[in-house]
Amino acid sequence: MRFAHLADLHLGFEQYRLPYRAEEFAQAFRETIEKVVEEKVDFILIAGDLFHQSRPSPETIKEAIEILSIPKEKGIPVFAIEGNHDRTQRRISAYHLLESLDLLYLVGLREEKVENEYLTSEKIGGKYLVKGVFERGGKSVEIHGLKYMSAAWLERNKLSDIFKPESDAILMLHQGIKELIERMMGVIPESQRDYFELKMEDLPKGYVYYALGHIHRRFETNYDIGKVVYPGSLQRWDFGDYELRYRWDGRAFKPKAGIEKGFYIVEDFEPRFVELKVRPFVDIRIEADEETAKREIKRLSTKIPSEAFVRLDLKWERPFDVSTFRDLLDVKYLYIRTRFERKLKTVKGGELPKPSEYFLPVELKAIELTGEKKFEAVEAVVELFLGEGWDEKLKNTPKEKPEEKLKDEEKSTEKDEISEKREAKKLEKVEKKEETKAKVKPKKGSDLLAWLGGGR
């Protein structure tokens, strides 16, 4: 028995507000389905987030219909569950529309009983557990599943009380599992509890294959008698999901390859990854002065393809003009992130330096003007920022050793990746709020003081 396992397709996602990225997400799905058909699979599993949102546009639904018609014409059934992006609290979702057209079969807890060639139902409490059924060549397998559920719901409803396989069965879930995420990304602080909904011990036992979705990196492991597999997203999700990463160690850029994108072909419950060639994402970080940064980025640019999306993270003690980097990096999309901050060094005895030893005269003046409780000297501060005195150098500014910089960079990498995922999680919550939510009126008066960092 052979089947395909894919997840996190995110049809309709105009990444970075770029409409052509939605087209590329759709093209990746089309290419995947065409490859799957060529592999002569018996059925296809979509483990959540077929769509990027619960109310996909008519154009996005049209694309889904056209692509899912390919396996339908070949007699290949598609079993699916809803993910956190495209699930709905309503009784009917876009998945039901596709199901009514015989383009897919929705498994999980449902209000209504469903019985057809590929679905059967079991009464559980006041609902029906709708399960997929596939038989061929004297072999049969059941496909169980559940749409994305919150951690609170899963604490009240144990999966082992719902799912009890009696023969060969597959379980489809769209959830984050703590131990697996930590093996991919590093230890998750308790403050980021919303990053996962399950622990390994919460998975019901007895399944020969656990077809997971939700985490955008591919990952495989074993659990009980089966394989636990995340296929990852088909397209790169953000710059934490890079194809290549470059980190400056004070002497040269150190490259690191990311995780491939694609899907799985599973034969006799053994997964085989199939890679897709998608738009490359390159993440670059350098802490250096303007002259060094320009020189090294120019050298590195010859290794970066023009079709790449690039994030350039620049860090130094003094601000400098970063606009020239757009000329140095001739790529499809460039995001420049700057962090200009002078590190505060203690003097002998552990005492902090005096303000006059740390700040330039023009900076001291700005602090004086903006530090008043009633900040009204707006024009004076503007003139100060536009005037001279910012190019002066401090005396006896200590230099940081290259090896110390590299150590700090490596320590911050995992934090950045988890932070990006947490920000994406917050964005998902914002997108799902009702449009009727009351708008918050802005506060009266200027917030320039907070912007300048002089608030108390």
214-225: burial string, b at 16+ Cβ within 10 Å, e else: bbbbbbeeeeee
Amino acid at 323: S
Find where tokens 């019985």 sit.
115
434-450: b (≥16 Cβ within 10 Å) or e: eeeeeeeeeeeeeeebe
The catalytic residue among 5, 10, 52, 85 is 85
Q: Are strands 105-106 and 309-316 parallel, antiparallel or unpaired?
A: unpaired
What is the number of residues in the chain? 456
Place of tokens 């964005």: 427
- Beta strands 169-174 and 139-146: pairing type? parallel
Residue type at position 147 = K
Within 8 A by CB and 6+ apart from 236, the residues are: 242, 243, 261, 278, 279, 280, 281, 309
Active-site residue 85, yes or no? yes
Burial of 303 (0-12, 13-18, 19+ CB in 10 A): exposed
Helices 402-431 & 178-185 angle (0-180, nearest 10): 140
User: Within 13 Å and on the Cβ side, how many CA atoms surround 30?
Assistant: 13
Q: Is the dihedral of CA 360, 366, 368, 370 positive or negative?
A: negative
The residues that are catalytic are 85
